[in-house]
Structure formats: C-alpha cells, structure tokens
C-alpha cells in the first residue's frame, strides 16, 4: 500500500514469467503474489479522521518496504547480480531502450528483466522477443513497484551470477522514486519530447537518480527543448548525477550507456568478492 499516492488493497499484483511455447506464444500463469496493490485517489480536501493517520501509515509502509529492500540487496549481492531500476514517465522510451540493450549488451553480460505495468504483457513480449528472460509484474491499479513485488520476481527469475537484472518500473515520475527495491542503481529515462522543465517539476525523481538518460536526442532539431537549461537544472537538483544523451532508436550514445553498465557490473562483482 502506498499512502502517499492513495494506493489501496483492492487489486492483486500478478507476477508472470513469459516464455516461448511450441506455437511461439507466451504462456500466462501466476508464479506468486506480492501483496494486494490497487489505486484509489480520494478527495484531497477530505477532512475525515482517517487523514490524520496518513503520515504514520506512510512511515510504516516505507519502513516495511525498506526492510524487504535490504533483503533483496543482500540476495543480489551474494550472487554478484547488478540490479538497475529504470524509471520514467510513460512514453519516454524505456522499453525501446531495453530491447536494444538486451540485444547489444547480451554479448557482454547475461541480462534478465522484470517488467512493471498496471496491465498487459505487451512490453514483456517485446523483451522476450529481443532475447531476454523476463518476468511481468502487473500491479492492477498500483502506480509503482515495491520491494516485495521485486523480491518475488527475483526468486522467479533466479538470475545467474555476474549478470544484470533490469527493473522496468511503472511509468510514473513520482512514486517510484520513494520506494527502494534493493537495486544497485536508479536510472531515470527522460525524453526530449517531454520538455526541459522536468528536473524542477519532479525533483525527488531526479534527486534519487544515479544516472539520467536523455533519450530521443535525434529529435532535438524538431522540438522546443532547452538542452542547456535541462542540464543545468538536473545539476542543481542533483549535483552528482551523470547525464548521458542517447537515442534508443538510432543508437546514439548507446556505447557510453553500455560502458556505464559494465562498470556497474564489475563493481557488483567486486562487492560480492569481499
């Protein structure tokens, strides 16, 4: 449950491994549940007594999530598995980026994917077709993944040592920044079509990021996007964040992205060896 955004318990989370059958069609089946997770936005001006419990409930929810995230982190570290949490608004290009990354990075390190969406297996099917094992988490009306969901998906995936697990979070620039999943790195994908004001409008997301991928830079000549302003504002919100300019469709900047990932994989292996 996410008290911050109003998620409730009405809709169950489904975790599904997607794989080939003889007819080439994915099979759907629940491999586990990571707790109920629905979404009910109430009146922002509701004066009911329950509103006074929002802050302590939020603290309890996040404390429980942090405990489960730490268990995920230990599980991943023991196996020298790098987990990367990919976050963005819908349409920024996360899945296209993942498809290309799976095809190209798979030559250098084993890759598997946890896909987060409210409904459908559309993106999981695309990732499977690109050559990666994938587990789909459908959150119902939930607007983000949490540590319990990811822990269940990791046990289903059982990724090999010295591999990369990408977690494609639900498209949302707010709540995913609040929930630790046990990942090693948080990466924000931002498209030039979204406007340059996002770092200041969604500071928590950019402050949480270890890396920002500015996607669709091939469209810069055709959109009103102030690159200088974007880079300056991202630096103001998070002075330590690295920004890479890429085009997932054209391939621009992908080598730098792959090199960044390989450095993180090496770091995960060093940590596990200590």
Rounded Cα distance between 182 and 60, Å, is 18
What pLDDT shows up at residue 34?
Answer: 46
| pTM more than 0.85 | no
The pLDDT confidence band at residue 258, using thresholds 50, 70 and 90, is: very high
Q: Is 76 exposed, middle or buried (0-12, 13-18, 19+ CB in 10 A)?
A: buried
Nearest to 135 by CA among 32, 262, 8: 32
- Per-residue pLDDT tens over the stretch 42-90: 444 454 545 555 567 667 888 999 999 999 999 999 999 999 999 999 9
Nearest to 138 by CA among 31, 259, 25: 31
What pLDDT shows up at residue 22?
Answer: 38
Domain boundaries, given as residue ranges, for the chain: 47-273
Least confident of 12-21, 31-40, 181-190, 199-208: 31-40
What pLDDT shows up at residue 189?
Answer: 98
| Dihedral sign from CA coordinates of 82, 249, 129, 174 | positive
Q: Please tell me the total number of residues recorded for the chain in this structure.
A: 274
- Per-residue pLDDT tens over the stretch 181-217: 999 999 999 999 999 999 999 999 999 999 999 999 9
Q: What share of the chain is helix, strand, coil (3-state, %, to 5)?
A: 40, 20, 40
What pLDDT shows up at residue 24?
Answer: 47
The enclosing H or E element of 188 equals strand 185-191
Q: Is 274 exposed, middle or buried (0-12, 13-18, 19+ CB in 10 A)?
A: exposed
- Per-residue pLDDT tens over the stretch 114-155: 999 999 999 999 999 999 999 999 999 899 999 999 999 999
> Three-state SS for 154?
helix
Rounded Cα distance between 251 and 8, Å, is 40
As assigned by CATH, the class of the 47-273 domain is alpha beta
Region of 158 on the Ramachandran plot (φ > 0 left; ψ -120 to 50 alpha; else beta): left
Nearest to 33 by CA among 10, 49, 16, 45: 16
């Amino acid at each position: 449950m996410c008290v911050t955004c109003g998620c409730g318990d009405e809709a169950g989370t489904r975790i599904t491994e997607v794989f080939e059958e003889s007819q080439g069609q994915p099979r759907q089946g629940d491999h586990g549940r990571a707790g109920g997770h629905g979404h009910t936005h109430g009146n922002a001006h509701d004066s009911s007594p329950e509103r006074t419990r929002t802050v302590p409930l939020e603290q309890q929810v996040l404390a429980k999530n942090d405990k489960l995230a730490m268990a995920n982190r230990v599980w991943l570290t023991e196996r020298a598995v790098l987990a990367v949490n990919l976050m963005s608004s819908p349409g920024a290009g996360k899945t296209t980026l993942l498809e290309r990354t799976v095809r190209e990075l798979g030559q250098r390190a084993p890759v598997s994917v946890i896909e987060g969406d409210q409904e459908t297996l559309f993106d999981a099917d695309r990732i499977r077709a690109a050559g990666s094992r994938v587990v789909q988490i459908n959150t119902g009306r939930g607007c983000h993944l949490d540590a319990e969901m990811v822990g269940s998906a990791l046990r289903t995936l059982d990724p090999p040592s010295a591999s990369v697990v990408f977690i494609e979070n639900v498209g949302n620039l707010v709540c995913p920044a609040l929930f630790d999943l046990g990942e090693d790195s948080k990466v924000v994908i931002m498209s030039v079509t979204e406007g340059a004001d996002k770092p200041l409008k969604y500071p928590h997301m950019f402050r949480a990021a270890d890396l920002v991928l500015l996607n669709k830079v091939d469209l810069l000549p055709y959109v009103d996007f102030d690159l200088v302003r974007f880079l300056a504002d991202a630096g103001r919100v998070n002075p330590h964040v690295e920004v890479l300019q890429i085009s997932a469709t054209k391939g621009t900047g992908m080598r730098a992205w792959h090199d960044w990932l390989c450095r993180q994989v090496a770091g995960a292996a060093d940590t596990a060896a200590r």
